């Protein structure tokens, strides 16, 4: 008999070693997330996947699924908390969706749609962040970085390089590039690297591909992020 | 540069886990870590340069840009403020002709603030080139300025500038009668492993850092791990503002602390221990190394300890200015030469700690107590205190009282009793457990020191009626925003938002809705943050909103709407551009001002 956990009253199976997120995705349950991608080592930093496990808040992407867990994923309180976290990410950086070429394909925006976010709620930080357009094919717009660490992990785990790192402390946290000048052009990134394509927002973009798909026909223009994420992340989906 | 750096790297075995000490040594030579050094160290340790840059940018005491030959840091703890810190740092800046936070043009001196330096009973305090300065006042600052302008090396400065006193006013069960070196270990080998662990269990000893996990249980969990390479870590990153008892324990009772670590090693089967000493306590480093050396010479450390076949040694690793490294998993990351980011748990350090091996991390006071319990027995300790909090607790008392210093109390002692002993009068409130703890009011003095009532890692700051609650809360809230590691969104963004929102209210731009918004934000940061720092960062606001709501209300504007910022001040750029400052170029904050 397989082991089970309960998410929002529904009993779902899990395997030893799976996180709550793994088990949820396999059962076609969407838990909002930004720093998590099942292809990479879980990070647990964005906190959007916060769920309530037997009365205690945990990050679904890092917390192991265990027998006896009664998990709340959908509740007014949690949805409100996730909305606020998303708003925090919006005010921390400089996100201007209408002028961003990632609009419609951006996971931060997708999550905001999903959580029915209508304003930023908090005062803006108006952080002074620079762009790195030095590379011939790849652009970094630090204004849009949400520190999900996915480019760092992709470069290490899949590309076997160390192109990116997170530096600084607290609100001064920032993405840095591994090159003598600190510029992307002097790093050993390649346009085919996973790290160049993993960014959930418009912080790392491939040049000259911006408006190939018109606005209105993009990923989250057609489908909510829950359906998109489950379709992509659940390897068994559609079988 | 290489001729300096290569021997440093060799000294630390070219090991990436030794990155922090390597960077400390480089910085003490060059007053910063030059880009060339970063490249060289990266190559030598075979780690990405970004790893080194991210470590430098994480720790307050490491710098990629030049600092002064004399680097002055002034402690920004609330207790230093209460002793006139703000006036002193301004005076310092004026006398040295340097701006706070900057390096003087001639490169001789830099001046900045630093988080609580652990000298709250003898402040205002500071650090010069890492060494603690106490009892700062204007005459002493004049003397220091003269020494700096004459370029006199710090080790030639008058010793009284660096005098750090223990100020033990009330020794109790543990402090009044320290054990002789080796006594606890001998007792442990006479009793045997299981019996000794049982004694510690009976004693009811719980972690003295504040969290209160049962010590015997932690040691047993670690001992039961399958992996046999295990570590003992003593957490001496005493960063909670208002706490300084570990400094005193390491200054005057270090043998007993090291003995507690060795005892733990003998029980869990560890061969290596670390004392993670906060950077602010650099003045203790040589003294502690000497004590370790003495213990090696007397057969209490090293190979075949007491001829019992135990091989164990202790290495001192210095912190570099990061409050978060007091969190045990962040501390372990720091020990491994990384940024101090708290890990995801589980797994817990007892199963996967240092280098992912089973590790016991305990507070200085826990090891200190454990060694005496091994000698005296569990009942001796458990006979004191309350049912749920056995034994005694060592307090660091500071703030408005006649005798700030170290006091040891049985758990269950009332706050009233403590106030009486240290000579506190006219009390407004007491911050128990530091900024991450609770601020209690004068109607709660019957409450007791205990895990089940008022838990504390040792910080006990007294405020009298002349103090302003919001000044205190502001100092604490800014502290957390400064010390947030930045890993998770709720703490990274939330602590900065708390700072903004609180400042808006204290600066007089808040309206009724702003207090409600502040409270909501507090709950978010508390409930969603990754670790204890974020989970407690809102405590100063929450505990004062509950007890002193009128203090917040008094700062609010009476009108229903007002801009949440200084309207006129924000027009300054426009006025400068337009080169005018007539009445028409100014705006009143509220329309009523015109009527």
Is B131 domain-assigned? Answer: yes
Q: Among partner residues A62, A81, A169, which is closest to B486 by beta-carbon distance?
A: A169
Same domain for B234 and B330, yes or no, is yes
* B344–A contact, CB cutoff 8 A: yes
- Higher-confidence residue: B562 or B236? B236
Q: Which residues of A touch B50 (CB under 8 A)?
A: 162, 164-165, 167, 176-178
Query: Closest chain A residue to B526 measured between Cα atoms?
Result: A57
Same domain for B205 and B329, yes or no, is yes
- Which tens digit of pLDDT belongs to each residue from B173-231? 999 999 999 999 999 999 999 999 999 999 999 999 878 999 999 999 999 999 999 99
Stated pTM of the model? 0.95
A198-217 residues touching B, CB cutoff 8 A: none
Give the rounded percent of residues in chain B with a pLDDT score beyond 90.
92
- Which tens digit of pLDDT belongs to each residue from B294-346? 999 999 999 999 999 999 999 999 999 999 999 999 999 999 999 999 999 99
Q: Among partner residues B51, B481, B490, which is closest to A170 by beta-carbon distance?
A: B481
- Which tens digit of pLDDT belongs to each residue from B134-145? 999 999 999 999
Q: Among partner residues B49, B488, B496, which is closest to A47 by beta-carbon distance?
A: B488
Domain containing B474 — which CATH number? Answer: 1.20.1440.230
User: DSSP for B358-384?
Assistant: -EEEEEHHHHHHHHHHHHH-HHHHHTS
Same domain for B266 and B330, yes or no, is yes
- Domain endpoint, select from B338, B355, B382: B382
Same domain for B14 and B86, yes or no, is no
Is B485 domain-assigned? Answer: yes
Is B306 domain-assigned? Answer: yes
Distance from CA of B218 to the nearest CA of A (A): 21
Contact A47 B53 (CB under 8 A): no
Q: Give the range among A169-173, B257-261, B574-578 with minimum mean pLDDT.
A: B574-578
Same domain for B342 and B303, yes or no, is yes
Query: Closest chain B residue to A49 measured between Cα atoms?
Result: B528
Q: Among partner residues B39, B492, B530, which is closest to A171 by beta-carbon distance?
A: B492
Contact A44 B488 (CB under 8 A): yes
Is B387 domain-assigned? Answer: no
Cα dihedral A233/A94/A151/B37 (nearest 10): -160
| Residues B89, B76: Cα–Cα separation, whole Å | 10
Q: Give the pLDDT confidence score for residue B557 in this predicted structure.
A: 77
- Domain endpoint, select from B428, B446, B467: B467
Is B64 domain-assigned? Answer: no
- Domain endpoint, select from B382, B402, B431: B382
Q: Among partner residues B322, B481, B527, which is closest to A171 by beta-carbon distance?
A: B481
Q: Which residues of A touch B42 (CB under 8 A)?
A: none
Strands B427-432 and B231-236: unpaired
Residue B148 domain boundaries = 70-165
Please give the interface size between A and B, counted as residue pairs whose CB atoms are below 8 Å apart. 109
| Residues B245, B251: Cα–Cα separation, whole Å | 10
Domain containing B400 — which CATH number? Answer: 3.10.20.600
Partners of B132 in beta bridges: B127
Is B560 domain-assigned? Answer: no
User: DSSP for B529-575?
Assistant: -SSHHHHHHTHHHHHHHHH-HHHHHHHS-SSS---SS-TTGGGHHHH
B477: pLDDT confidence band, cut at 50, 70 and 90? very high
Distance from CA of B329 to the nearest CA of A (A): 15
Q: Give the range among A27-36, B88-97, B575-584 with minimum mean pLDDT.
A: B575-584
| Residues A154, A40: Cα–Cα separation, whole Å | 7
Task: List the structure tokens of B417.
Answer: 């009793």
Same domain for B129 and B153, yes or no, is yes
Contact B50 A165 (CB under 8 A): yes
Q: Which residues of A touch B319 (CB under 8 A)?
A: none
Same domain for B53 and B193, yes or no, is no
Mutation target among B330, B344, B537 for the A interface, most CBs of A within 10 A: B344
Task: List the structure tokens of A136.
Answer: 């011939």
Q: Give the pLDDT confidence score for residue A2 in this predicted structure.
A: 81
Domain containing B147 — which CATH number? Answer: 3.40.30.10
B593: pLDDT confidence band, cut at 50, 70 and 90? very low
Distances (CA, A) of A117 to A30, A44, A50, A105, B512: 18, 22, 18, 17, 24
Blockwise average pLDDT, block size 10, chain A, 239 residues: 91 96 97 97 98 97 97 98 98 96 97 97 95 98 98 98 97 98 98 98 96 94 96 68
Q: Give the pLDDT confidence score for residue B592 in this predicted structure.
A: 53
Distance from CA of A152 to the nearest CA of B (A): 11
Q: Which helix (H) or strand (E) holds A228?
A: helix A225-233
User: DSSP for B314-359?
Assistant: EEEEE--S-GGGGSHHHHHHHHTTS---PPPSSSPTTTS-GGGS-E
* B486–A contact, CB cutoff 8 A: yes
SS3 label, residue B413: coil
Domain containing B294 — which CATH number? Answer: 3.40.50.11540
Sign of the alpha-carbon dihedral angle for B120, B123, B124, B129: negative
Distance from CA of A66 to the nearest CA of B (A): 12
Contact A169 B487 (CB under 8 A): no
Query: Could you give the domains of chain A?
Result: 1-121+215-239 (3.10.20.740), 129-208 (3.30.70.20)
Q: Among partner residues B48, B344, B500, which is closest to A162 by beta-carbon distance?
A: B48
Task: List the structure tokens of B337.
Answer: 């030469």
Same domain for B241 and B115, yes or no, is no
Distance from CA of B378 to the nearest CA of A (A): 34
- Which tens digit of pLDDT belongs to each residue from B23-36? 999 999 999 999 99
Same domain for B313 and B238, yes or no, is yes
Question: Structurally, how many domains does chain B consist of?
Answer: 6
Same domain for B463 and B474, yes or no, is no
Is B312 domain-assigned? Answer: yes
Same domain for B43 and B118, yes or no, is no
Same domain for B77 and B161, yes or no, is yes
Q: Which residues of B touch A93 (CB under 8 A)?
A: none
Q: What is the Rg, in whole angstroms, of the alpha carbon atoms belonging to chain A?
A: 18
Count Cβ atoms within 10 A of the Cβ of residue A96 and give its class: 0-12 exposed, 13-18 middle, 19 or more buried: exposed
Q: Which residues of B touch A168 (CB under 8 A)?
A: 54, 57-58, 486
Is B20 domain-assigned? Answer: yes
């Amino acid at each position: 008999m397989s082991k089970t956990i309960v998410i929002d009253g529904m009993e779902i199976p899990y395997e030893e070693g799976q996180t709550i997120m793994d088990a949820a995705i396999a059962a076609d349950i969407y838990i909002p997330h930004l720093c998590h991608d099942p292809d990479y080592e879980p990070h647990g930093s964005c906190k959007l996947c916060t769920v309530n496990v037997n009365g205690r808040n945990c990050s679904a992407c890092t917390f192991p699924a265990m027998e006896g867990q009664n998990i709340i994923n959908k509740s007014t309180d949690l949805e409100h908390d996730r909305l606020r976290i998303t708003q925090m990410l919006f005010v921390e950086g400089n996100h201007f969706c209408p002028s961003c070429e990632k609009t419609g394909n951006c996971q931060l925006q997708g999550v905001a749609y999903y959580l029915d976010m209508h304003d930023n709620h908090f005062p803006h930080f108006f952080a002074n962040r620079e762009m790195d357009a030095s590379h011939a094919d790849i652009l970094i717009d630090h204004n849009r970085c949400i520190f999900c660490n996915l480019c760092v992990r992709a470069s290490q785990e899949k590309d076997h390089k160390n192109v990116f790192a997170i530096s600084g402390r607290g609100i001064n946290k920032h993405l840095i590039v591994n090159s003598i000048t600190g510029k992307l052009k002097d790093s050993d990134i390649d346009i085919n690297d996973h790290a160049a394509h993993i960014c959930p927002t418009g912080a790392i973009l491939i040049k000259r591909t911006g408006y190939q798909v018109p606005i209105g026909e993009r990923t989250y223009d057609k489908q909510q992020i829950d359906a998109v994420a489950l379709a992509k992340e659940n390897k068994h989906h559609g079988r | 540069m290489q001729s300096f750096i290569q021997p440093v790297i060799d000294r630390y075995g070219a090991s990436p886990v030794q990155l922090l000490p390597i960077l400390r040594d480089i910085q003490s030579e060059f007053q910063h870590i030059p880009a060339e050094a970063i490249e060289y160290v990266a190559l030598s340790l075979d780690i990405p340069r970004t790893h080194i840059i991210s470590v430098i940018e994480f720790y307050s005491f490491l710098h990629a840009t030049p600092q002064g030959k004399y680097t002055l840091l002034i402690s920004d703890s609330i207790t230093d403020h209460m002793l006139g810190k703000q006036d002193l740092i301004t005076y310092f800046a004026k006398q040295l002709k340097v701006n706070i936070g900057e390096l003087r043009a001639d490169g001789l001196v830099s001046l900045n603030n630093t988080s609580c330096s652990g000298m709250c009973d003898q402040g205002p305090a500071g650090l010069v080139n890492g060494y603690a300065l106490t009892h700062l006042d204007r005459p002493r600052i004049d003397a220091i300025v003269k020494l700096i302008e004459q370029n006199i090396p710090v080790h030639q400065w008058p010793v009284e500038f660096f005098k750090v006193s223990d100020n033990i006013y009330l020794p109790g069960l543990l402090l009044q009668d320290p054990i002789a070196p080796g006594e606890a270990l001998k007792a442990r080998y006479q009793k045997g492993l299981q019996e000794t662990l049982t004694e510690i269990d009976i004693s009811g000893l719980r972690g003295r850092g504040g969290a209160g996990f049962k010590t015997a249980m932690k040691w047993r969990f670690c001992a039961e791990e399958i992996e046999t390479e295990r570590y003992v870590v003593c957490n001496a990153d005493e960063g909670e503002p208002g706490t300084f008892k570990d400094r005193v324990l390491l200054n005057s009772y270090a043998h007993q602390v090291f003995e507690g670590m060795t005892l733990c090693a003998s029980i869990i089967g560890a061969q290596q221990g670390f004392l993670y000493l906060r950077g602010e306590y650099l003045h203790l480093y040589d003294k502690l190394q000497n004590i370790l050396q003495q213990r090696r010479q007397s057969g209490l450390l090293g190979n075949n300890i007491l001829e019992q076949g135990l091989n164990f040694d202790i290495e001192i690793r210095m912190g570099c200015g990061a409050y978060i490294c007091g969190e045990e998993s962040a501390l372990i990351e720091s020990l491994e030469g990384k940024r101090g980011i708290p890990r995801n748990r589980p797994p817990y350090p007892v199963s996967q700690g240092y280098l992912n091996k089973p590790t016991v991390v305990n507070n200085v006071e826990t090891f200190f107590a454990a060694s005496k319990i091994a000698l005296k027995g569990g009942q001796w300790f458990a006979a004191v205190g309350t049912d749920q909090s056995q034994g005694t607790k060592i307090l660091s008392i500071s703030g408005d009282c006649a005798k700030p210093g170290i006091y040891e109390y049985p758990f269950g002692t009332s706050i009233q009793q403590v106030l009486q002993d240290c000579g506190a009068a006219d009390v407004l409130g007491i911050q128990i457990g530091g900024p991450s703890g609770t601020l209690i009011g004068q109607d709660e003095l019957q409450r007791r020191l205990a895990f089940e009532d008022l838990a504390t890692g040792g910080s006990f700051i007294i405020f009298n009626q002349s103090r302003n609650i919001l000044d205190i809360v502001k100092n604490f809230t800014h502290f957390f925003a400064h010390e947030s590691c930045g890993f998770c969104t709720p703490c990274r963004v939330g602590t900065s938002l708390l700072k903004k929102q609180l400042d808006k209210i204290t600066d007089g731009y808040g309206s009724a809705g702003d207090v409600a918004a502040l409270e909501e934000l507090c709950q978010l940061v508390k409930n969603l943050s990754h670790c204890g720092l974020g989970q407690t960062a809102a405590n100063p606001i929450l505990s004062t909103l509950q007890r002193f709501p009128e203090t917040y209300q008094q700062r609010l504007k009476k009108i229903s709407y007002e801009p949440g910022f200084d309207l006129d001040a924000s027009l300054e750029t426009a006025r400068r551009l337009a080169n005018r400052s007539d009445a028409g170029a100014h705006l009143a904050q509220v329309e009523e001002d015109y009527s």
